Amino acid sequence: MTEGIEGLFARTEEFPNSSARARLAALVGLDDLIDRLATDAVALLDPTTIQSWSKAVHGEVIPAVTALADRTPLLVFAGDVGVGKTEVAEVIGQVIATRADADVTLYPLSLTARGRGAVGEMTTLLTRAFERISADFVRARRSDGTASSLGVLLIDEADALAQSRELAQMHHEDRAGVNALLRGIDGMRTDRLPVLTILCTNRLDALDPAVQRRAAAIEVFGRPNRAQRFALLARHLSGAKLSDTEIDGLAAATGESADRSYGYTYSDLRQRLIPEMVLAAYRHGVALDALIAHEVLARTPPTRPFEALTR
């Protein structure tokens, strides 16, 4: 870890590593998404991979490939709370490292945790983060365009930016936080730093249009469907006293219903429902079975979507 970094980023992480491999393996139903995101990330970070593809299939590097090289390596992850945005952003470096056969370092920056309230504080935080990353990666790209090491800058809880903007307008200040972000990502693109920025937000509608325009992709994460819920439940309840049919019953019961237009989130299932079931069975001193599971389900409703809260 570089000196001074502790105060700025939550903790940097080097990929590949075994804990990230385990976290990746624990994710359910996101294989295709992660595969696509990692492919895009490598194409954006290392233009030589896509140049090789173009030469192989077109016999030359076609102009369209050059246009791609001008895209900002920025991905926006949007969606409700608890649908896997942070988790995917934190482990995607593992897949990128394997694909690109390079070391990847994650720089996680949470705007909620660090810059709460004060607009100026968040602006300073963002500016310092980009300065640090520029210093770390300015020499990472080789003359042939490949990179010796890659970076992932994770700007989590970016809703705080929008809030700061609303606050700033109230106080007739400028859009300092958003401008610091734009300056940072534009600077990294101009300097062709091999750094992917991932910005997570629960409120895509509140994200500045200028930031959205720069995104190479905007990925909207959703709540798990029935098959995904089944896979997650089956994985955690294996060995418990529930048949596949009973687990499928839980997968059905955790979906949308007549009186509810939304189902359980990944975190509702993994961090609330399943632990509650274990505790309930333990308290009763009985096996975890369908009866216990449904008893817990009945008193553990899913998180309301953000839109449902504001409507």
Ligand X SMILES: Nc1ncnc2c1ncn2[C@@H]1O[C@H](COP(=O)(O)OP(=O)(O)O)[C@@H](O)[C@H]1O
Site residues, ligand X (CB under 6 A): 26-30, 79, 81-87, 200, 221, 232, 266-267, 270-271
Instruction: In whole angstroms, give the CA distance from residue 72 to residue 190.
Output: 9
- Min CB(77)–ligand X separation in Å: 7
Edge-first strand listing for the sheet containing 13-15: 13-15, 103-110, 149-156, 195-201, 74-78, 217-220
Q: Which positions lie near Mg ion, rule CB under 5 A?
A: 86
Is 164 in contact with 155 (CB distance < 8 Å)? no
Instruction: Please choose which of Mg ion, ligand X, none residue 141 contacts, taking the beta carbon within 5 to 8 angstroms, the exact cut-off set by kind.
Output: none
Nearer to ligand X, 140 or 211 (CB): 211
Q: Which residue has the tokens 């590593």?
A: 17
Helix (H, G, I), strand (E, B) or coil at 254: coil
Instruction: Please choose which of Mg ion, ligand X, none residue 232 contacts, taking the beta carbon within 5 to 8 angstroms, the exact cut-off set by kind.
Output: ligand X
Instruction: In whole angstroms, give the CA distance from residue 240 to residue 249.
Output: 15
The separation between CA 57 and the C-alpha centre of its own chain, rounded to angstroms, equals 32
Nearer to Mg ion, 15 or 221 (CB): 221
Nearer to ligand X, 183 or 226 (CB): 226
Is 133 in contact with 193 (CB distance < 8 Å)? yes
Nearer to ligand X, 82 or 108 (CB): 82
Is 99 in contact with 42 (CB distance < 8 Å)? yes
- Min CB(136)–ligand X separation in Å: 25
Nearer to Mg ion, 156 or 208 (CB): 156
Instruction: Please choose which of Mg ion, ligand X, none residue 27 contacts, taking the beta carbon within 5 to 8 angstroms, the exact cut-off set by kind.
Output: ligand X
- Min CB(80)–Mg ion separation in Å: 10
